[in-house]
Every structure is written in C-alpha cells, then in structure tokens.
Amino acid sequence: MPLMNMVQAINAAMREEMERDPTVVLLGEDVGVDGGVFRLSEGLLDRFGPERVIDTPLAEAGIAGVSIGMAMNGLRPIAEIQFMGFSYLTLNQMICHAARMRNRTRGKLTVPMVLRMPYGAGVKALEHHSESTEALFCHIPGLKVVVPSTPLEAKGLLTSSIRDPDPVIFLEPTRSYRMLKEEVPEGEYTVPLGKARVVQEGSDVTVIGWGAMVPQIQKAVDITSSSVSSEVLDLRTLSPIDWRSVLASVRKTGRLVVVHEAPKSFGVGAEIAARVAERELLSLEAPIERVTAPDITVPLPKGEDHYYISPERIADAIERAASF
C-alpha cells in the first residue's frame, strides 16, 4: 500500500468517489485551478473538468446554498470552506435548510452533501484560521460531524461521508495535514460513521479525544505508561457520538479524561462529562478531567505555545485521575 499524508489521503478519497459516482462534484474557493488552499484537490480539475470541479466566488453562504440545491436535485456535492473561521457564513444555510430538509419534507427530499473544512490551531495561524468550534455544528439535529485523526482514517471516513444520505460536516485537523504518513489502501476503503476507535486498550483511565488531539494523547500516554494503564478512544464522529463505546470504557476503567482543543465552556467535552455522570456515576472512582483550550480567542502566533494542548498537560490530568 502507498504511504500517504492526510492531504494525499483526502485527495485520493475525493478522486476515487468522483470516478465511482458521476454525481459527485467538488466546489469551493480555489479548488480548481489552484488545487485548494492546502492543495487537497490538486489534479482533480484536469481529471474531471470544470463541470465537476468548480471554482466559486468568495461567498461561503453561496457555496453552502448552491450545494444544498445540488444535493436536493440528485448530485452529491463536496463543498470546501477554506478555514473553519469562515464557515459561520454557512450557518444559516446549514441549520435552516440542510439539517432539516429530510424532516421538513417528511423524507421526500434529503441533502447528501459534505461540507469540508480545516480546523484547529497548532500551525501559528491566528484567529479565523485556527478556530475549533465544532460544538456549534454538533448542537444541530440533522447534521453529522466527523473528524479524522490519521491519513487512513481520513480516507475511510471521507468516503463514508460522501456516500451518506444526509449532510455531513467534515473537519480536517490542519495540524495533521502533513504531520505523518501511513499506509493507505488504494480503492474501496470505508470507515463507518458513528463508531469510535479504540486506539489503545488499558485498565486504569479512559482518555477520549479526536482529530489533532489523538497524537498528543498518545504522547501523554507514553509519558505516564510506567505507572498508569490508559485506554485511548478516538471518537471519529462527534455527532452522533458512539455512546456505547464511551460508557463501556468508563465502566471498565472508572476514570475519564476528555481532551479537546476547543475552549472549555460549553464544548463537546462538557456533553461527554454530563452523559457519563448521568449514566455511569456509580462507576466513577475519580472526578472527570477535561483538558481544553482556555476560553479566549486563539492568540497571535507568539502566544500559541501557551494556548495549545501539550502532552504534558494531558499527562498531568491522567495522573491526577489515576491517583485520586
């Protein structure tokens, strides 16, 4: 199998789905001639032509709205937003139309589209270029929210997202685009949506993360491995969450650490902590730990090292939970 980074794996997933299904189209700012702001769509315009790889104006609401119309009329659009901080202009279209079209029409119309975008800090790009506001989309019934953590995961999850009959928000960790390479199969490869991945089995503490936090968690687990046996869960899909896997792991270890790079207040980690408290309170042997960004705007590049989640912070939380 070829070695790919996440950029190459996402490009392969889009190319193979466009070859397999003539209704799959790609649209967004600079996705055609320039191959995308991070070159994820490089080569697709030459292969499939301007009718299926469409450069759009600088208009995120228009990209989302046109994609919804395409999806309702038989196409499977992949819409690219250049950075998560620009996606807020799509919220009206995604919340008021994409997310509720199936319910509004009693199943007569669905919106099989993917809204892709890079998210997160770690590359010293300030403000709108480093946002991690996945909770905004997770709060909307009718939207699935998917986050890959490795190149292999990215190919399988994006392929499944393109084939899904309903709208999917596909969040790509910017920091992981070219961080590592791994073997990625050519041809058919899917990962089911809504199913978490056990990255590592353990018995003392459950550590949950997704996207760019998974490599940071693995480093933290290495730091604490001599004294704590950690079980690591990669959620893969933030909405709907695989509660069965989350609760089973907490029942097994009795301790939970949740890690995300979004601000702490009202984040996905808060929802996980609340559900675990509701369903597994008597299994818990220590307070739930959350390791998150502070409740501030992403700082200028010089401040990012103080803002971003380090393996040492996660390791401290693991040890606190284990020793409680």
Q: Distance between CA 123 and CA 305 in Å, rounded? A: 10
- Per-state percent for the chain, helix, strand, coil, to nearest 5: 40, 20, 40
Number of Cβ within a 10 Å radius of residue 13: 25
**What's the pLDDT score for residue 119?**
96
Residue 126 has pLDDT above 80, yes or no: no
Question: Residue 240 carries which side chain, given as an amino acid letter?
Answer: P
The catalytic site residues sit at 129
Q: pLDDT tens for residues 190-238?
A: 999 999 999 999 999 999 999 999 999 999 999 999 999 999 999 999 9
C-alpha count within 13 angstroms, C-beta hemisphere, residue 97? 19
Can you tell me the mean pLDDT for 41-58? 97
**What's the pLDDT score for residue 199?**
98
Torsion of CA 246, 252, 256, 257, to 10 degrees: -80
Q: Distance between CA 120 and CA 221 in Å, rounded? A: 22
Residue 55 has pLDDT above 90, yes or no: yes
Phi/psi of residue 198, each to 5°?
-85, 105
Residue 127 has pLDDT above 80, yes or no: no
Q: Distance between CA 220 and CA 205 in Å, rounded? A: 12
**What's the pLDDT score for residue 300?**
87
Question: Residue 261 carries which side chain, given as an amino acid letter?
Answer: E
Strands 182-183 and 205-209: unpaired
Q: Give bridge partners of residue 293 from the DSSP assignment.
A: 263
Q: Outline where DSSP puts E strands in 46-113.
A: 53-55, 76-80
Can you tell me the mean pLDDT for 34-63? 97
